[in-house]
Amino acid sequence: MTVLPHTTDALHRLSDAVDGFLRSEREFNLTDPSAHMLVGGRLRTLGTQIGASVAAGIPDEDIAAIVQPARSACSRSPFMRDENEWARGYPSDFKLVEHVMAQANEAAPGTLGWHVETNLQNSAITQQQRNRVMHQARLISDTLTAPRNGPRSILVIAAGAAPDVRLIPPGIVRPGDRFVLTDVDPDALELAEKRLGPLNDVTTSVSGNVFRALPKLAELGPFDLVLVNGLYDYLNDRAAVRLTEAVLTRLCRPGGTFYFSSITSGNPFRWSLEYLMDWSVIERDEPAVRALLPGCDVSVGHDPTGLALLTHVRTRRG
């Protein structure tokens, strides 16, 4: 391991943070549910020291080597283990979203994994995911109940198992209204079908990469509302611009709404996610989001945690 003089203190602090986190099993009574606050304190300290090590210029492989014992301990949390292993081949798969929405803890009680998972489920990083889903459900509801001259069409990109659509009371759906769901994972769309109940009668699913699915989606449009469910967290600027242009020119009805959410820059959970879970996202601040939408009528806000940017675009009427 290469250690420069100015990085020695950061390395020591990082090693101490890892050791402190691991000592939680010996020093805390993990059979007491309230111990999750103590474990959480050490988990946050570890994340802070990972970030400080990055800022000190310590190579990624050196940080990863020091953090590995803590990463292994965190994998006793089913949530962190599945994300760490990318159970379905890509980060933040639909089963993890379902796990977050259910606020479930599948670790054995009284274990370090249980306390890690409890911290995650009570943290702002998972709450922002729930906030995104709730916000999308409100947008869908508002679109369906707004004064109108005809049926409404709604497209959800990267829909997962459609937790937002599942929150919609079937009673507000009027004759002719329809939903289109698209996702790269056919199993996600299969689960959506199982859980949508009566809404299945007005829902069409399109499986596959969204860029390859564009012709089919365009045939099913145009749409009054197009939602992109977290995909911008993983798209570089070139891909994000490409998708944005496609939505605005090929999918959205004139006068319709395009919405997407993304993690904002300065995310305090970044280093824990990257080094303990191998979960990297692309952060954007408001100017970076607006740069994807030059000349558009854009409204950008934050969810209550401040971690998610909620971007609404009103398309021009023809």
Residue-wise pLDDT tens digits, 154-174: 999 999 999 999 999 999 999
- Tens-place pLDDT, residues 290-302: 999 988 899 999 9
Q: Look up the pTM and report it.
A: 0.90
What's the pLDDT score for residue 1? 46
pLDDT, position 104: 83
Residue 308 in this model has a pLDDT that exceeds 60:
yes
Q: What's the per-residue H, E or C state across the chain?
A: CCCCHHHHHHHHHHHHHHHHHHHHHHHCCCCCHHHHHHHHHHHHHHHHHHHHHHHCCCCHHHHHHHHHHHHHHHCCCHHHHHHHHCCCCCCCCHHHHHHHHHCCCCCCCCCHHHHHHHHHHCCHHHHHHHHHHHHHHHHHHHHHHCCCCCCCEEEEECCCCCCCHHHCCHHHCCCCCEEEEEECCHHHHHHHHHHCHHHHHHEEEEECCHHHHHHHHHHHCCEEEEEECCHHHCCCHHHHHHHHHHHHHHHEEEEEEEEEEEECCCCCCHHHHHHHHCCCCCCCCHHHHHHCCCCCEEEEEECCCCCEEEEEEECCCC
pLDDT tens track for 171-223: 999 999 999 999 999 999 999 999 999 999 999 999 999 999 999 999 999 99
Question: Which domains does the chain show, CATH number per domain?
Answer: 5-122 (no CATH), 129-314 (3.40.50.150)
Q: What is the pLDDT of residue 4?
A: 57
